[in-house]
Amino acid sequence: MHIETLILPTRQLETQRRFYTQTLGLTTKHETPTSVTFRTGTTRLTWQQDDLCSGFYHLAWDIAPTQVEAAERWLLARVKLLAAPDGQTRFPPGGNWNTTTLYFEDPAEHILEFVARHDSADRASRPFGAHALQRLSEFGVVVLDVNAAVDSLSRFNGGSDTFTPLGSHEGMLIVVRDGRGWFPTGRGQQFRLNSS
């Protein structure tokens, strides 16, 4: 699965625009008074002004496994890394995940992640920067019943009744139960259905 385009609502369009251009260094591909689109690797990410939206998202960008240390230094010069309760900010491979991850937030408190997939063949040696973000490979989805939501979709490396990744290394939906805390902060998100 490849995430080619992701369009998300935000109450803070101008703040998001500044963060993604000035802090992360992404290039604006299209903008209107009510939206801004960035090209980030092979993915188009659009933020649209929506004064009624609430909550937060989880987004993850793939980076080359050889660039974890450079990505960490690059992030630390720009943002505060999110830490687990034990203070850890770089998360090495473990369990079913052969990845190293770094987490941070944007001004709207969306949980963002750089993920180095160690099974990837990419062994980039170029300096790290916004250009090194390969693609958005994960998007978090909050549902009332994880197992019911994923029954007809392809599971990636197992799952449970509170957390199941769907897709492949190249693109995943992270489906979690209503109220489950997001790693590494433990901050939960409530299920919301917008019927408008």
User: Residue 53 corresponds to which tokens in the numbers above?
Assistant: 């939206």
Q: Name the CATH code of domain 54-180 (choices 2.40.110.10, 3.10.180.10, 3.90.1010.10, 1.10.10.410).
A: 3.10.180.10
Which of 148, 166, 124, 189 has its CA nearest to residue 3? 166
Domain definitions of the chain by residue range: 54-180
What is the reported pTM?
0.77
Q: Average pLDDT in the 68-90 region? A: 97
CA-CA distances (angstroms) from residue 78 to 20, 130, 159? Answer: 11, 12, 34
The pLDDT of residue 152 is above 70: no
Per-residue confidence (pLDDT) for residue 18, from 0 to 100: 97
- Residue 114: beta bridge partners? 61, 102
List, for residues 43-71, the tens digit of each pLDDT value: 999 999 999 988 888 999 999 999 999 99
pLDDT band at 196 (very low <50, low <70, confident <90, very high): very low
Q: How many CB atoms lie within 10 A of CB 86?
A: 6
Q: Which helix (H) or strand (E) holds 146?
A: helix 146-150
Q: Hey, is 45 helix, strand or coil?
A: strand
Per-residue confidence (pLDDT) for residue 112, from 0 to 100: 97
Per-residue confidence (pLDDT) for residue 156, from 0 to 100: 52
Ranking 5-14, 111-120, 154-163 by mean pLDDT, the lowest is: 154-163
Question: What b/e sequence results for 112-148 when a residue is b if at least 16 CB atoms lie within 10 Å of its CB, and e otherwise?
Answer: bbbbbbeebeeeeeeebebebbbbbbbbbbbbeebee
Cβ proximity of 156 and 174 under 8 Å: no
Q: Average pLDDT in the 160-171 region? A: 69
Q: Average pLDDT in the 30-36 region? A: 97
Per-residue confidence (pLDDT) for residue 2, from 0 to 100: 80
**Average of per-residue pLDDT values in the chain:** 85
